[in-house]
């Protein structure tokens, strides 16, 4: 693979307000390593998503030394410089333990972009009181990211209770008719709770970017 195959988008932060991220799922270790070479040369930090433990261990040692890796979400910060984090503007609310990978991908993406967040896990609607115990806390956030698989009833219930911006992330949790997340996705889209928007299955990264767009819009208005 020549370097001609890779064209990193280092100006994305200026243009869109959040940094470049590399989806590693269908890239070879060789391709990922070449991307990190470019970032290193440009003294640029990168967010890597869907990086498996196996691919991580296949990277050169000098790259691995500059990586902060989270196993549950498969996210890695490359050349990450910790910066001031804002107040917790975003709540990431997950229905079950099996939804943790997507939920943590959202949390990590927010952290990489310097945005504070609150994690509220295991509050699926089959045990409604768990959700009700924390609903006032959830409502205090500007943006709520609702992460749920199987029947994904959580975003529908939240949609009737929460006035803020509400973004649903359907997950591939479940089996049989959960259909690798397609049922959760369709349920979120068909929901009669108004004004809930939806991301791709397991796309915690995309939900966090959508939240960043909202926070940027607020900042632009108030500044």
CA separation for the pair 20, 216 (Å, rounded): 16
* Encoded tokens for 174: 């479940």
Q: Is 110 in the site for a second copy (CB under 8 A)?
A: no
Query: Pick from 192, 209, 222, 220: which is nearest to 106 by CA?
Result: 209
Q: Candidates 23-31, 37-45, 55-63, 79-87: pick the segment binding a second copy (CB under 8 A).
A: 23-31
Contact between 67 and a second copy by CB under 8 A: the answer reads no
- Minimum CB distance to a second copy smaller for 1 or for 81: 1
Contact string (CB under 8 A) for a second copy, positions 128-147, x = contact: x-x-----------xx----
- Beta strands 21-23 and 67-70 are unpaired
> Whole-angstrom Cα distance, residue 66 to residue 165?
35
Of the residues 5, 41, 54, 83, which one makes contact with a second copy according to CB under 8 A: 5
Among 72, 85, 87, 116, binds a second copy (CB under 8 A): 72
Q: Which stretch binds a second copy (CB under 8 A): 38-46, 52-60, 75-83, 176-184?
A: 176-184
Confirm if 48 and 20 have CB atoms less than 8 A apart: no
Q: Which of the ranges 36-44, 52-60, 73-81, 180-188 carries the binding residues for a second copy, by CB under 8 A?
A: 180-188
Distance of CA 145 to the CA centre of its chain: 9
Q: Which is nearer to a second copy, 60 or 128 (CB)?
A: 128
Interacting residue with a second copy among 39, 51, 106, 178 (CB under 8 A): 178
Sign of the C-alpha dihedral computed for residues 71, 76, 82 and 88 taken in this order: negative
């Amino acid at each position: 693979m020549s370097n001609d195959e890779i064209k990193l988008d280092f100006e994305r932060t200026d243009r869109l307000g959040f940094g470049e991220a590399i989806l590693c799922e269908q890239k070879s270790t060789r391709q990922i390593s070449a991307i990190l070479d470019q970032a290193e040369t440009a003294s640029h930090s990168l967010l890597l998503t869907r990086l498996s433990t196996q691919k991580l261990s296949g990277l050169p040692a000098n790259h691995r030394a500059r990586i902060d890796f989270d196993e549950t979400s498969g996210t890695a910060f490359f050349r990450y410089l910790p910066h001031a984090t804002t107040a917790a503007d975003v709540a990431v609310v997950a229905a079950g333990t099996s939804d943790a990978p997507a939920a943590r991908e959202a949390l990590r993406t927010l952290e990489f972009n310097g945005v504070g967040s609150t994690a509220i896990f295991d509050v699926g609607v089959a045990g409604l009181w768990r959700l009700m115990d924390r609903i006032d806390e959830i409502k205090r956030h500007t943006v709520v990211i609702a992460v749920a698989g199987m029947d994904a009833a959580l975003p529908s219930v939240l949609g009737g209770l929460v006035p803020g911006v509400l973004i649903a992330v359907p997950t591939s949790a479940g089996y049989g008719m959960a259909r690798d997340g397609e049922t959760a996705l369709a349920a979120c889209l068909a929901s009669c709770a108004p004004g809930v928007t939806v991301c791709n299955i397991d796309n915690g990264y995309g939900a966090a970017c959508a939240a960043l767009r909202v926070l940027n819009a607020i900042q632009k208005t108030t500044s």
